[in-house]
Amino acid sequence: MVSKGLIILLCVFAVYSEISEDEGVWVLTDSNFEEALNLQPNILVEFYAPWCGHCKSLAPEYAKAAKKLLLNDPPIHIAKVDATVNTELAQRFSVNGYPTLKYFINKEPNDYTGGRTEDTITSWILKRSGPSVKVVDCACDIDNQVDANKVTALLIAGQDSSEGVVFDTVSKSIDGVGFIQCTSNDCAEKYGTSMPSLILFKKFDERRVDFAGSLTSSEVSAFINKNKVPSVIEFNQDAIELIFRDSNPVVFLFSVDFEPYQEWFTNLSKEYKGVLLFCRAEVASTDNGRLGQFLGLKPEAQPTALILDPKKELAKYRLDKELTEQNLRSFIENWKSNTLTSFMKSQEIPADPFDNGVRIVVAKNFEDVVMDKKKDVLLEFYAPWCGHCKSLAPEYEKLAQQLKSVNTVVIAKMDATENEVKGQEIKGFPTIRFFPANNKKGVEFDGERNAEGLLEFIKKNSYYEIAVNKVDL
């Protein structure tokens, strides 16, 4: 006779077998999503599109995190959903961009707030799946734990000590670091220290850093955050998160050949550790080329340096002298003393100011065209690669033709990847803003993205009365 337990096990296995894996990641669909949540109610799910560049960049890190999490006891699964195929799930969870990551807690969706690298994904999930600190009572248990992480914080202190409470609190606020507490004296003997003490182990730079301050939350957090980053980082996904997600100011050194600058750049990075990140990059490569475009830096400008400050609305400062140790040190000191002037990107004013009837705006003529108090101006901030912008283009050009004879209205566009204007924050493409003659602060467009919807919006918000006959083009 078949036991009840075996029947239940077979049922569970039957459900599990319907969920395929891709490099350790569960592949979910409209039909097996609920089964996955029944098996693991707390789960991270990536909603992606096969053609999405950001999704392709995330894929290898997501797969490495998945494999690492499967080694946990018990194993933890993460999943992905092709939102272009499984449209019911995409609609149900309001997926409007790619990738969208949701962390389900007891089957209820929550926004994922972690990073996009193996280490940050792993540590973020582990903190929400159990204790954020691994507590061991023997020095022999530590080596494997340290080897599993790029950065490991080891506290040697008693089980119920106040230092342990502080350590546990700090562990919940820092991603990308493994946290271990050893409660026995043999740990202190092994590492040549005493109880309580804190050591940071790293797989880069100096391999061990001993904490010398007071074991308070603020000092421990500052110590770990300061030392968890390599002295000089390369521009990659890790760097993107450190700079843009964590809002750390950074000095970039751009050069095809880093070797002539490596020694003194590394020395400066140690001198200013905790003040600035130091990052090396090369504009001509594909990934760094996008960075160069964002910063307004051409390959021919190399070698050079630039400071980017996310805490000041991504303010950019260029080194306008030869790239030497002394010049870069002076450049950093001037940034620290707030004596540098930031710059904003602009294309040159085009010889032909119109493109299919649409006025071309660049940063250099934004004030003259858009801020003209005698004109109602509709401005599209676009990106050349944006699919939604390309879809809008014929409707936008149709609108420009419809209003061609109305001399109080300007239909304009600006490539927001090549031009920046102070006070104009762009969070997505296309962004459409109307600047009527009596309100140059601008009004966000919120209608239908077609000629009719745009025209209706202009009529509703314009300062000057508009009378125009519709034309079909």
Band of pLDDT at residue 385, cut at 50, 70 and 90: confident
Structural domain of residue 86, as residue ranges?
A: 20-129
Q: Is residue 467 in some structural domain?
A: no
Q: Is residue 184 in some structural domain?
A: yes
Q: DSSP string covering 203-238, please? A: SSSSSEEE--S---HHHHHHHHHHHSS-SSEESSHH
Residues 213 and 265 in one domain: no
Q: pLDDT, tens digit, for every residue of 433-467?
A: 999 999 999 999 988 999 999 999 999 999 998 87
Q: pLDDT, tens digit, for every residue of 246-295?
A: 889 999 999 999 999 999 999 999 999 989 999 999 987 766 777 888 88
- Residues in the chain, how many? 473
- The answer to whether the beta carbons of residues 153 and 178 sit under 8 Å apart is yes
Q: Which two tokens stand for residue 185?
A: 């004296």
Distance CA 28, CA 119 (A): 23
Dihedral angle of Cα 380, 385, 389, 394, to the nearest 10 degrees: 110
Residues 6+ apart with CB under 8 A from 196: 155, 156, 157, 158, 161, 163, 215
- The answer to whether the beta carbons of residues 411 and 379 sit under 8 Å apart is no
At 469 the pLDDT is 54
Q: In 83-150, where do the E strands start and end?
A: 100-105, 108-111, 134-136
Distance CA 229, CA 205 (A): 9
Band of pLDDT at residue 34, cut at 50, 70 and 90: very high
Secondary structure string (H, E, C) spanning 32-97:
CHHHHHHHCCCEEEEEECCCCHHHHHHHHHHHHHHHHHCCCCCCCCEEEEECCCCHHHHHHCCCCC
Look at residues 272, 303, 337 and tell me which one is the last residue of a structural domain.
337
Band of pLDDT at residue 11, cut at 50, 70 and 90: very low
Residues 238 and 263 in one domain: yes
Nearest of 136, 220, 146, 142 to residue 183 by alpha carbon = 136
Q: Is residue 115 in some structural domain?
A: yes
- Number of domains forming the structure of the chain: 4
Residues 284 and 195 in one domain: no
Beta bridge partners of 359: 354, 412
Q: Calculate what percentage of the chain has a pLDDT beyond 90.
A: 69
- Across 40-54, 135-149, 408-422, least confident range: 135-149
- The answer to whether the beta carbons of residues 164 and 155 sit under 8 Å apart is yes
Q: Is residue 273 in some structural domain?
A: yes
Nearest of 369, 389, 373 to residue 381 by alpha carbon = 389
Distance CA 18, CA 111 (A): 27
Residues 157 and 243 in one domain: no
Distance CA 5, CA 331 (A): 70
Residues 241 and 319 in one domain: yes
Report CA-CA distances (Å) from 356 to 160, 311, 364, 375.
72, 39, 21, 20
Beta bridge partners of 135: 181
- The answer to whether the beta carbons of residues 219 and 247 sit under 8 Å apart is no
Q: Is residue 177 in some structural domain?
A: yes
Look at residues 129, 163, 198 and tell me which one is the last residue of a structural domain.
129
Q: Is residue 5 in some structural domain?
A: no
- The answer to whether the beta carbons of residues 98 and 47 sit under 8 Å apart is yes
- The answer to whether the beta carbons of residues 360 and 354 sit under 8 Å apart is yes
Q: Is residue 469 in some structural domain?
A: no
Residues 142 and 223 in one domain: yes
Q: Which two tokens stand for residue 112?
A: 């994922």
Residues annotated as catalytic (active site), given as ranges: 52, 55, 386, 389
Residues 366 and 307 in one domain: no
At 446 the pLDDT is 86
Residues 223 and 242 in one domain: no
Q: Are strands 250-254 and 304-309 parallel, antiparallel or unpaired?
A: antiparallel
Report CA-CA distances (Å) from 245 to 56, 69, 115, 240.
19, 23, 8, 7
Buried b (16+ CB within 10 A) or exposed e, 163-198: bbebbbebbeebbbbbbbbbbbeebbebbebebbbb
Q: Is residue 174 in some structural domain?
A: yes
Q: Calculate what percentage of the chain has a pLDDT beyond 70.
A: 95
Across the chain, which distance is largest between two alpha carbons, in Å?
90
Band of pLDDT at residue 23, cut at 50, 70 and 90: very high
Residues 382 and 294 in one domain: no
Residues 287 and 245 in one domain: yes
Q: pLDDT, tens digit, for every residue of 194-241?
A: 999 999 999 999 999 999 999 999 999 999 998 999 999 999 888 888
pTM, full prediction: 0.69
Look at residues 206, 228, 250 and tell me which one is the last residue of a structural domain.
228
Residue 2: pLDDT over 60: no
CATH number at residue 433: 3.40.30.10
Residues 139 and 213 in one domain: yes
Residues 246 and 286 in one domain: yes
Band of pLDDT at residue 162, cut at 50, 70 and 90: very high
Band of pLDDT at residue 364, cut at 50, 70 and 90: very high
